[in-house]
Amino acid sequence: MTIKRELSDSERVVITGLGVMTSLGLTVDTFWANIIAGKSGIVPITSFDVSAYDSRIAAEIRDFNPAEYMERKEARHMDRFSQFAVAASRQAAEDAKLVITPDMADRVGVLIGSGIGGILTIEDQYRVLWEKGPSRISPFFIPMLISDMGSGQVSIQLGAKGPNTSVVTACATGTHAIGDAYHIIRRGDADVMIAGGAEAPISQMGLGGFCAARAVSTRNDDPEHASRPFDATRDGFVMGEGSGIVILERLDFAKSRNARIYAEVVGYGMSGDAYHITQPAPEGEGAVRSMRNALARANLSTEEVDYINAHGTSTIPNDKLETAAIKRLFGDRAYKIAVSSTKSMTGHLLGAAGAVETIISVLAIQNGIAPPTMNYSEPDPDCDLDYIPNTARKMPIRTAMSNSFGFGGHNATLVFMKLE
């Protein structure tokens, strides 16, 4: 049973704008249509020679033109992850019909994270150092590589002068960014926050590092079916790149400007595993605490969650332990909740994953459609929930939960509801 929430409109936070840059589309409409159709954005890598790598596939964006979103000179001084952040933020602001005027600029903040930051810039400038010496390193090297620069560049480009910060929690980054932005509004430090994650990790070092860790799929001959969350034949995640950005607003502020409202953010939970640098805690106990904390913040019971967008990486330990965590928290009702991993289509966008999956979750609420887990063909006895296999499902969704878990034991959960 719901515990009655006695919140005023000035204490409630809603999502009014969405922006995406992904291999499945550079607009929200295209992206959502491809998600519901079960299409894959995973392809052979073409941005560099991958012949020597164990994994040679990724959810690579091939048709992105930064000049469509910013001046060419400005784009040259940004790493690819910051370009994605600016592009998705412009799209989200336009979707929200948010015009940042001088009299409101200091009440509009930015919180965009990146798990990896400017690794492409690091690689490029290391080659300069090696071939030409330190005097030829670009003066933009440091400003381009640092992970907070997605937030910094969006603030500059859009004129947002409110709280401007960032977060780095590996694959939980995007979820933490949106959750922290939610709290900034709740505590009265901003009326609007531009929040999410951006990532451009598909590089020689990035791919090589994950290959060395044996974390990525080597199903190179069948890219579309390589990401197989919860399936018994899964063999690792598939890297992705892009950005997901949402516009968060105080409900009364959104109403005052007649903004379209996608959903309300009602809960945000965090926890730490304190266990291992890459492996989840036994029985997913850290994930349990994160989900429980989010429900407590939302004043919701376990009976009221309709859909879970799982972290669902397609790795052996994550999928098994996330399933265990859901069953531990929800008990027998876990088997009645629709659960899916959209990483089966988008790949794993690392620090941007949770933000992209936030967008999927609120669109699922708005459209009454739960997206599928693609490539689910061979059940794993350890993964025995309703994963919406291979076909999207029309169903009423009042409450959706989204999970993200990152290396270092970072756990984050968001809960969204249809506005009532």
Active-site residue list: 171, 311, 348
Rounded to the nearest 10 degrees, the angle between the axes of helix 173-186 and helix 353-367 is: 70
In the chain the first and final C-alpha atoms are separated, in Å, by 16
**DSSP codes joined into one string, 298-320:** HT--GGG--EEE----S-HHHHH
Give the 3-state secondary structure percentages of the chain, helix then strand then coil, rounded to 5.
40, 20, 40
Pairs from 374-377 (Cβ < 8 Å, separation ≥ 24):
374/38, 374/40, 374/225, 374/227, 374/344, 374/345, 375/224, 375/225, 375/226, 375/227, 375/228, 375/229, 375/231, 375/344, 376/228, 376/229, 376/230, 376/231, 376/344, 377/228, 377/231, 377/233
Cα(147)–Cα(322) distance, integer angstroms: 28
In this structure, are residues 120 and 207 in contact, taking their beta carbons and an 8 Å threshold?
Answer: no
